Amino acid sequence: MQVWKDYLEQHKDRFLEELLAMLRIPSISARGEHKEDMKTCAIAVKDSLIAAGADKAVIYETAGHPIVYGEKIIDPSLPTILVYGHYDVQPADPLELWHSGPFEPVIKDGKIYARGACDDKGQFYMHVKALETMVKTNTLNTNVKFCIEGEEEIGSPNLATFVKEHKELLKADVILISDTAMISMEHPSIDIGVRGLSYIEVEVTGPNRDLHSGVYGGAVANPITILAKMIASCHDENNHITIPGFYDDVVESTPAEREKMAQAPYDENEFKADLGVSALWGEKGYTTNERTGIRPTLELNGIWGGYTGEGAKTVLPSKAYAKISARLVPNQSSTVITEKLLNYFKSIAPAGVTVKAEEHHGGEPYMTPIDSNAYKAAAEAIKATFGKDPIPVRGGGSIPICALFEKELGLKIVFMGFGLDSDNLHSPNEKYDIFNFYKGIETIPYFHKFFKLG
């Protein structure tokens, strides 16, 4: 619609400036020292909703970081779209690998570099600006609700309680989320599923204190060596995961589904070149897209123990630690897999060490039906602005609250993500293309326009 394009064109510099202001707030939910920044960011989100034309916007305190709710109800008989997003971001370290400050956004080659640029500030903010565009051009034809939380990156520990206690408030006809990626701007796509997550931390204790590796070396279990052996045992020579029962509940994709997936554009040489690797690595018998989409995985997210400073220290450490997470696919249960992971690490501990294994957080896998009115509206919206039909793809990431929303609110979710896999989510130099940011703001109103009940 030309009015949307015109409005965007007139206000695009301000839209960008507003996003940059939001990106300057270091809203890292995982770190206690950012508690105040989280509050500051929640207020900024609330204010932005009011400024965009919401009737009301409220900050709900939780046991953790606050949730921002906002709404614009134009007619209760019209469809209501609930937009979910998150204003918290991942920690920024390792800081030394950033080319510019993670919370000092810079524009370079048409891209916004900052922590949260894509995940998820840049993406949820498209919905705020789309709302403004529709309100100011008198073209809004749905009710809109916003639920923007501050704990997505730590597993949304307090969202379930909030949702259960505010079912009426959150009542809607569909949930719309922009927190995923497209294959590319040339190959627009829609995620039809996200993987689940089980995240644990393992602590291995050998001797009760750090020891001299010469005096005691060879006579007592070294917790790093033992932890390494435990980790090494998690994948077999075909890179299948060996944890007992891990694949029990996996729904295998049919040959037809896999054939359809194989038609998505993918260039292995380009993929390898982008990552700077000479060879790929993964479960035997599956393609890259299958490995990151329809198969569960187990990844090491962190490891530490002993002396990690400059130079050499001949210590046999008392403790070693690892952070480990699994991505899950339908019909796996995060609770079940977390339990299996915890049990596995405890059960394989050899005599001479003690193992503590604890859950960080988890989330269930989620699939969205592609024959629903909501999916069709998203596909039409993308066709309207990209000029071609989007490809349905299975995403590798996790949005732990999807299963919760479905269960508590009885709603289906549609993912309209405008990021790219190369946006360095969770990594140094996270970015978001300005083009994509504007494209999202241009596309979202079409979803509102095309979405039909029933």
211 binds a copy of itself (CB under 8 A): yes
Tokens standing for 349?
A: 């501990």
Q: Which residues inside 141-160 make contact with a copy of itself, applying CB under 8 A?
A: 153-155
> How many residues interact with a copy of itself (rule CB under 8 A)?
101
Tokens standing for 265?
A: 């554009």
204 binds a copy of itself (CB under 8 A): no
User: Among 85, 105, 150, 396, which residue interacts with a copy of itself (rule: CB under 8 A)?
Assistant: 396
Tokens standing for 318?
A: 């008392």
How crowded is residue 177: how many other Cβ atoms within 10 Å of its Cβ? 26
User: Among 32, 76, 255, 454, which residue interacts with a copy of itself (rule: CB under 8 A)?
Assistant: 32
251 binds a copy of itself (CB under 8 A): no
Q: Is residue 152 among the annotated active site residues?
A: yes
How crowded is residue 60: how many other Cβ atoms within 10 Å of its Cβ? 16
Q: Which residues inside 70-99 make contact with a copy of itself, applying CB under 8 A?
A: 90-91, 93-94, 97
How crowded is residue 426: how many other Cβ atoms within 10 Å of its Cβ? 15
User: Among 13, 215, 254, 284, which residue interacts with a copy of itself (rule: CB under 8 A)?
Assistant: 215
280 binds a copy of itself (CB under 8 A): yes
* Rounded distance between C-alpha atoms, residue 34 and residue 42, angstroms: 12
Catalytic residue among 18, 37, 71, 88: 88
Catalytic residue among 119, 149, 152, 201: 152
Rg of the chain, C-alpha, whole Å: 23
Of 63-71, 135-143, 275-283, 332-340, which segment contacts a copy of itself by CB under 8 A?
Answer: 275-283
User: Among 276, 284, 371, 387, which residue interacts with a copy of itself (rule: CB under 8 A)?
Assistant: 276
* Rounded distance between C-alpha atoms, residue 216 and residue 311, angstroms: 21
Those residues whose C-beta lies under 8 Å from the C-beta of residue 353, and which sit 6 or more positions away, are 204, 205, 206, 221, 223, 226
Greatest CA separation found in the chain? 79
Shortest distance, CB of residue 410 to a copy of itself, whole angstroms?
26
325 binds a copy of itself (CB under 8 A): yes
Shortest distance, CB of residue 17 to a copy of itself, whole angstroms?
27
Site string for a copy of itself, 346-385 (x = CB under 8 A): ----xxxx------xx------------------------
* Rounded distance between C-alpha atoms, residue 260 and residue 439, angstroms: 27
Nearest residue to 142 (alpha-carbon basis) of 232, 80, 234, 194: 80
Active-site positions? 88, 152
